A and B are shown apart, each in its own frame.
Chain A
Amino acid sequence: MAKKNPIKAVKDFWCGKPHTAEEGGRRLGDLYEDKTGLLKHREWRGVKDTFYYMYNIWGYNYVHMVLDILKFSNNPIDFFKGTWRYRWMGQTYLPVIHWFERGLQGMRGEALAASAWHYRAMVSASIHQICNFFNADTRLHGGKENDAYKHTIYANETTCGTLFYPWKDAGYQYLPMEMIPYFVTCHVNSHTVLNYIDAVQSIGLPGDPCPMCQAESGLFVLDDVPDSAPIIITCNEACDASVSTHTLQDWFANKPLFALPIPMQFDDPLVKKYCMNEIEEMWKFIEEQTGVPFSWESMKKYLERQNKLQRDEWEKWDVASKTDYYPINGVAQALFRIYSTQYGVQTSCWEEASEKVKKIMYKCVEKKINPFPQTRHRVIAWSCAPLYFSNWCTWAYNCWGLNTIINMDSLMFDMEIRTDSYENMLEDMATYHMWAPMRRMAVGGMHHIFELWDYMKRFNCDMVAMYDQLQCKGMQGVHGLFEDEFRKRNINAFWIPHALPDCRTVSRAEIRRQINDYMTTVMHEEPLDPSLLDFDDSMTW
């Protein structure tokens, strides 16, 4: 048996074990229980970081989840009633702190603190939406259409919240129908969504369209969408499968509904004009249904807040692209951005988190702290990510030193919306709407899909993590083109096959195996932490 070095033991206790195997590393993979992904015990990150995690992340977020419920809920009892009524609520959101754990594993110091603020904002925004659902839900209020119900506008989750700012100051709340019941659940607890996918297939729909559209329809099939708004705005999301979703939503919701399309070929100026008209028609529909006119003042006020958030993001990206001092990890970057751009400034949590992160980031810049010191490759992740394994970037950094600097989800809404005149605002709003999730750089045409090369250069990345959504017909069609381009441009790229929310099609272990294979056979590299190469987490959240 090897003799223990007491000096190293004290150092390991005080600072935490070093990352790499050569230095007698921390072996994070040994912390997992077999299959469940639960931890035998949490990682000892050294005295400072362990207690920072315990008090400022674990404890802080538990307490603030309760405070958020009290803050956003009209009656906290409704929250418990909703938890009991809706599977996506009860089954999903209880293990939210474990979601933090998966995303923040192995992080230390500034990376741990800054990334956790992004998670905190996402939790707060989620509770904001959950409370808005339950405040207004007629099912939780004996069928009564209360004031909150009358002041809620339902919209498809890919219809950006920005479109509804004109009614915000009049007390109207935009609620994306599927963002909480579907999208966020997949990240927090991937078991829940499977019920909805199976439900829609059980009524005879084929299993091969996008599982996102399937799950969104399945929510309605299982009667698991709260009745919280008198009107609905739907859209075709980014693909044809969603047109069927919209039809099922029209059938099951049985409410006045406006279908706002997201155009397919959006670089055409005539299409843009058409899109501007569609947006104005939708605004007229809301005016007619609510009896409240469009407010330019309200629109301008919230757009200016949103633009400030965008400028903050550019400031952060500037540091991420030009230095090694950016303290946000890949998963915290991607989820914060897609969530905040889609939901919009419905709450102030994004701005508050962004300020805190900027403070930590500038500390790193001033003191020249590299929050990811084991970075071997700067990675850009492209296309749509596996929702059930969005924390693959955390694993890839810990195991291989692959640091995901930026990703397609963050870059989709890379623009400000002008507020100097109504006409300019409408024009920019149409662009923003047409750059919807999965549209601009996934199924939005060759020019936008291949923006990858420009962003790769801009963010100084030397490797591509290419997501391969097996049930997205659009992206499957360009798989070969990417292969050709990678070869032609001599770019190191690995593929991550997945089926968006459905962890049964490609398991997390299979995704890890594919990356391991690439890193050993193509890159000829050794893992930083070999304990993370292969482990069974098939039953994990």
Chain B
Amino acid sequence: MKKLKKALLKLCLIFVLLNVGLFVIFFFDLDGKLLFNVVEPFLKKHYDNMERKDTLQEPYDLDKFPKYKYD
């Protein structure tokens, strides 16, 4: 019985702490601040440095496909 009580108390404490933690993240917009100040600059750097195909080198094959006309 004592053990069960202790486990329940622990569970309640975890639940309360989790909610307090979530509230702090929510209320102080910590998710927004993390994304704006850390995640976005990191990803931006990654995309800026990414190797990309030079699409202008692609030939414009005008006659590769037939003219789709269904009169």
The interface of chain A, by Cβ under 8 A from chain B, is 36, 38-42, 54, 58-59, 84, 87, 90-91, 94-95, 97-98, 101, 189, 191, 195, 203, 220-223, 250-252, 254-258, 280-281, 284-285, 288, 541
Main SS class of interface, B: helix
Instruction: Tell me if A94 and B52 are in contact (CB < 8 A).
Output: no
- In the complex, A220 Cα to B36 Cα: how many Å? 27
Report if B43 contacts A (CB, 8 A). Answer: yes
- Residue pair A38, B47 in contact (C-beta under 8 Å): no
The size bracket of the interface on B is 20 to 34
B61 contacts A254, C-beta separation under 8 Å: yes
B5 at the interface (CB under 8 A from A): no
| Pick from A58, A87, A203: contact of B47, CB under 8 Å | A87
**Is the Cβ of A54 less than 8 Å from the Cβ of B23?**
yes
**Minimum distance in angstroms from B35 CB to a CB of chain A:** 5
Considering the chains assembled together, what is the distance between the CA atoms of A285 and B68 in angstroms?
Answer: 7
In the assembled complex, the Cα of A42 lies from the Cα of B29 at a distance in Å of 6
Q: Given A41-B27, A91-B47, do A223 and B32 touch, yes or no (CB 8 Å)?
A: no
The complex places the Cα of A520 from the Cα of B56 at a distance, in Å, of 52
Alpha-carbon distance between A39 and B32 when the two chains are bound, in angstroms: 8
Contact indicator per residue, chain B 16-60, by CB within 8 Å of chain A (1) or not (0): 000000110011110111011001100110110000110110101
| A459 CB to nearest B CB, Å | 35
Q: Does B2 contact A (CB under 8 A)?
A: no
Chain B residue numbers with a CB within 8 Å of A258 are 68
Q: Which of A38, A42, A58, A281 contacts B68 (CB 8 A)?
A: A281
CB-CB < 8 A to A254: which residues of B? Answer: 58, 61, 64
Contacting residue for B22 out of A59, A94, A97, A189, CB 8 A: A59
Residues of A contacting B29 in the complex (Cβ-Cβ under 8 angstroms): 38-42, 98, 101
Q: How many Å lie between the Cα of A58 and that of B56 in the bound state?
A: 43
B26 adjacent to A58 (CB under 8 Å): yes
Shortest beta-carbon distance from A293 to chain B in Å:
14
CB of A94 within 8 A of CB of B55, answer: no
A94 near B40 with CB under 8 A, answer: yes
Minimum CB–CB distance from A495 to chain B (whole Å) comes to 31
Are A95 and B35 in touch, CB under 8 angstroms?
Answer: yes
Residues in B neighbouring A257, C-beta threshold 8 A: 65
Return chain B residues, CB-CB under 8 Å to A87. Answer: 43, 47
Q: Which residues of A contact B56 (CB under 8 A)?
A: 203, 221
Instruction: Give the distance to chain B from A412, nearest Cβ to Cβ, in Å.
Output: 28
Residues on the B chain within 8 Å of A284, using CB: 70
| A101 vs B36: C-alpha distance when bound (angstroms) | 14
Contacts of A36 in B (CB 8 A): 36
With the chains together, A137 CA to B39 CA distance in Å?
25
A38 touches B26 (CB 8 A): no
Q: Which A residues are CB-close (under 8 A) to B22?
A: 54, 59
Interchain CA distance A280-B69 in the complex, whole Å: 11
Contacts of B68 in A (CB 8 A): 256, 258, 281, 285, 288
Is B28 in contact with A252, judged by CB distance below 8 angstroms? no
Distance, CA A36 to CA B38, complexed state (A): 13
Look across to chain A and name the residue whose beta carbon is closest to the beta carbon of B26: A54
Q: List 17 A-B contacts (CB under 8 A).
A: A38-B33, A38-B36, A42-B28, A90-B46, A90-B47, A91-B40, A94-B40, A98-B32, A101-B29, A191-B40, A223-B52, A223-B53, A223-B55, A251-B60, A252-B55, A254-B64, A281-B68
Given A90-B47, A223-B53, the answer on whether A95 and B32 have CB atoms closer than 8 Å is yes
> Do B43 and A222 have beta carbons less than 8 Å apart?
no
A220-B60 Cα distance, complex, nearest whole Å? 13
Q: Which residues of B contact A41 (CB under 8 A)?
A: 27-29
Q: A84–B55 contact, CB under 8 A?
A: no
In the assembled complex, the CB of A85 is this many whole angstroms from the nearest CB of chain B, namely 8
**Complex: A36 Cα to B36 Cα, angstroms:** 8
How many Å lie between the Cα of A284 and that of B71 in the bound state? 11
B31: chain A residues at CB < 8 Å are 97
Cα distance, A463 to B25, chains bound together (Å)? 40
A94 adjacent to B39 (CB under 8 Å): yes
Q: How far is B47's CA from A223's CA once the two chains are assembled, in angstroms?
A: 12
User: A40 to chain B: which residues have CB within 8 Å?
Assistant: 28-29
A101, A191, A220, A541: the one contacting B55 at CB < 8 Å is A220
A49 to B71 CA separation, bound complex (whole angstroms): 61
Chain B residues within an 8 Å CB radius of A220: 55
Residue of B nearest to A97 (CB): B31
